[in-house]
Chain A
Amino acid sequence: MSDVILEDLSKSYRDVIAVNKINLDIEDGEFVTLVGPSGCGKSTTLEMIAGLTERTSGSITIGDREVSGLPPKHRNIAMVFQNIALFPHLNVYDNVSFGLNIRDYDGAETEKRVERALDIVQLPEMGDRMPEELSGGQRQRVAIARSIVREPDVFLMDEPLANLDAKLRVHMRTELQRLHNQLDTTIIYVTHDQAEAMTMSDRMAVLNEGELQQFAPPLTCYNEPANVFVAGFIGSPSMNLIDGAVDGRAVVTEYFSVDARPVDGLSDGSDIVLGIRPEDVYLSRNTASVGAPSDPVEVVAEVIEPMGDEIFVYLNFEESAEAVMEGQDSVQDVDQLLISVDPDSDIEEGDLIEIVFDRANTHLFDGESGDALSHDLTETSGRES
């Protein structure tokens, strides 16, 4: 039950910087996810909070204690690992009571706590089983019981669900949220799976190449990504990013142009990146629900992926599609656009279709820095980042 504050936390290995000056202010009882692609420094950050990896510089405060120089055992934290890390030579009871035994709790108290912890993870009466006799999900729940039995200040979870099969993973996700509601303890959770991060966290910290990109509630990261990286990383399927330039009150790309209100600091010819989520693209024949449709753009449906509840369509802009057909251009050079449409949309591969974007949900990023400039191209709203 403590807040966790990271200040300018950095880690470098010889000449490689793994984590670069991360600042996070995690509140008491918050469920925070560190999310990013592999190698982004999220696990290193977690290990530094745990004390398993020495920080290079910066400070870590848990509650009102500066813990940066302390060994793991003095930080009052608990950790759940990706590879589960139950002690294979000890039974479930001894695994769960491992930390209590080291701290010389008396027998009755230990027994009471272990029983309660096993109840919370819904594995009562399993104390004398060996880890190898349990299923993957049960093992992970024992690992969670081991972490809650000491009533730590903070839970650290390093991709705890990554080794479980897809169905179990979704189930354990809700279990963890239930656990968080029940215990109300700060949880710092590391994952590379943006869907996990979106569904579970109060706030998510998106990391890339050792640097913090955005620290905000999931929907803020989704609706108002701070930069091109967050825009592309959060959301599945990921956002379409198209290079373009400013021209008066419009943004012009190679294939189409969109009307856009002026943004401070941009002049004619400034390079920008246009970001459009697949779900914000519509077929021009049913634009009734779109508040601020763009001018229609002609495209060719190239690949169709029916998902059941929606259909993903990979589109090629018309000119380049012709180029492909004439064999003048290689497929890789063609700009592709991914959209999702209703399952009853009658589209076949090779069809020529017209699409519009929702300008109220179109993002604009700086062409050089990648920072977000605007999340709405319409005149009325003033949503700017």
Chain B
Amino acid sequence: MIRNPESTYRILFYFATGGFLIATLFPFYYLAVIALTPRGNLYDVGVTPNGFNPGAFIEIFQIAPLHHFIFNGVVLALLTTAIVLVIASITGYVFGRFEFRGRIPLMLIVLAISYFPPAAFLIPLFEMLTGNLTVFGLSSPDLFNTPGAMVMPFSALFLPLSIFILTTFFSQIPDGLEDAARVEGSTRLGALYRVIMPLSAPGLATAGVLTFIFTYNEFFFSFLMTDGSADSWAPLVWGILQYQTQYGELYNYMAASALVGMIPVAMLVLFAQRHIISGLTQGALKE
């Protein structure tokens, strides 16, 4: 028997939330601790920095072109997001607003793609995107070290989820609105762009942000589809690996660059936060 349920629940709530926050935020804190510790003291890092060397955040840019790697990552992520949103919008429109034979099986096949581990596709994709595949005498293009080699697999892997999110959102827009737009003079695509997409803004924001974060953080294809130099469109992963030299591992620089590399995603999430929250929760409740 709980004598005072209200305050007990409140204490439990703070306890649980506090525990959760510590578990998620501690890695960030520890990255900061490592980044601030001078290289000579890295053998002995406790819960507080052993020394204070904020210069690491500057030095990382002097040793390697970290900004260039971050730029590459952002461009790749933006390209992928744009491609995914355009294709997923049109697909979501068809799945969400049309009744046709084979709709459900087709949707399940699309979704099934996302069940496969990306590694399963690596060898065929690598062969294809490096120009080693010949079909009917036509050689596939050599996209190694270009954005295409990463943007294409990223888009393919992340399309199913975005299609699902947008299908759900688009199917909830009342038919009358689309009919009204068409009577007023829109084509179907026009109605999608002028009415259905603006009204599904939370869904688009959710799909877009999830795609961006996934792509920006992606390791597997990013690591394998370029040779690792900033000029060959290598993203952040490669930038962090620059501090792994033959003389040793510069953990403080790696930690500092990891923190700096988070900035674009943090900015995006702050910017789109409101939309994402309503996107994730509102889906089922819309008119």
B173: nearest residue on chain A (CB-CB)? A88
Whether B132 sits at the interface, judged by CB under 8 Å, is no
List 13 A-B residue pairs with CB atoms under 8 Å apart, sorted by A's residue number.
Answer: A72-B185, A73-B182, A73-B184, A78-B183, A79-B180, A81-B180, A83-B174, A83-B176, A85-B174, A87-B199, A98-B181, A102-B184, A146-B184
Whether B127 sits at the interface, judged by CB under 8 Å, is no
B179: nearest residue on chain A (CB-CB)? A52
Query: Do residues A89 and B186 form an inter-chain contact, with CB atoms below 8 A?
Result: no
In the complex, chain B residues whose CB is within 8 Å of the CB of A71? 182, 187
Interface string of A92-113 (1 = CB under 8 A from B): 0000001100110000000000
Whether A230 sits at the interface, judged by CB under 8 Å, is no
A338: shortest Cβ distance to chain B, in Å?
Answer: 38
Q: What is the number of residues of chain A that contact chain B, defined by CB distance less than 8 Å?
A: 25
Whether A207 sits at the interface, judged by CB under 8 Å, is no
Q: Which residues of A contact B (CB under 8 A)?
A: 50-52, 71-73, 77-79, 81-89, 98-99, 102-103, 146, 150, 156
Query: Do residues B187 and A73 form an inter-chain contact, with CB atoms below 8 A?
Result: yes
How many residue pairs between the two chains, A and B, have CB atoms under 8 Å in the bound complex?
A: 63
Bound-complex Cα distance A87 to B184 (A): 12
- The listed residue (A52, A82, A86, A103) touching B183 by CB distance below 8 A is A52
In the complex, chain A residues whose CB is within 8 Å of the CB of B224? none
B188: shortest Cβ distance to chain A, in Å?
Answer: 9
A329: shortest Cβ distance to chain B, in Å?
Answer: 49
Query: Do residues A102 and B190 form an inter-chain contact, with CB atoms below 8 A?
Result: yes
In the complex, chain B residues whose CB is within 8 Å of the CB of A150? 184-185
Closest 10 CB pairs of A and B: A99-B184, A85-B176, A85-B180, A73-B185, A102-B185, A79-B183, A83-B176, A72-B182, A89-B198, A81-B176
Whether B266 sits at the interface, judged by CB under 8 Å, is no
Bound-complex Cα distance A85 to B183 (A): 11
Query: Do residues B182 and A85 form an inter-chain contact, with CB atoms below 8 A?
Result: no
A89: nearest residue on chain B (CB-CB)? B198
- Chain A interface mostly: loop
B147-196 residues with Cβ-Cβ distance < 8 A to A are 174, 176-177, 179-187, 190, 194-195
A146: nearest residue on chain B (CB-CB)? B184
In the complex, chain A residues whose CB is within 8 Å of the CB of B194? 98, 102
Bound-complex Cα distance A89 to B201 (A): 10
In the complex, chain A residues whose CB is within 8 Å of the CB of B198? 89
Bound-complex Cα distance A55 to B184 (A): 20
In the complex, chain A residues whose CB is within 8 Å of the CB of B195? 87, 89
Bound-complex Cα distance A88 to B181 (A): 12
- The listed residue (B177, B185, B187, B190) touching A85 by CB distance below 8 A is B177
In the complex, chain A residues whose CB is within 8 Å of the CB of B199? 87-89
- The listed residue (B177, B182, B185, B187) touching A52 by CB distance below 8 A is B182
B136: shortest Cβ distance to chain A, in Å?
Answer: 39
B81: shortest Cβ distance to chain A, in Å?
Answer: 22
In the complex, chain A residues whose CB is within 8 Å of the CB of B181? 87, 98
B213-252 residues with Cβ-Cβ distance < 8 A to A are none
In the complex, chain A residues whose CB is within 8 Å of the CB of B177? 85, 87-88
Bound-complex Cα distance A78 to B194 (A): 18
In the complex, chain B residues whose CB is within 8 Å of the CB of A99? 184-185
Interface string of B198-213 (1 = CB under 8 A from A): 1100000000000000
Bound-complex Cα distance A163 to B127 (A): 61
In the complex, chain B residues whose CB is within 8 Å of the CB of A77? 183
Q: Which of A79, A85, A88, A102 has the most CB of B within 10 A?
A: A85
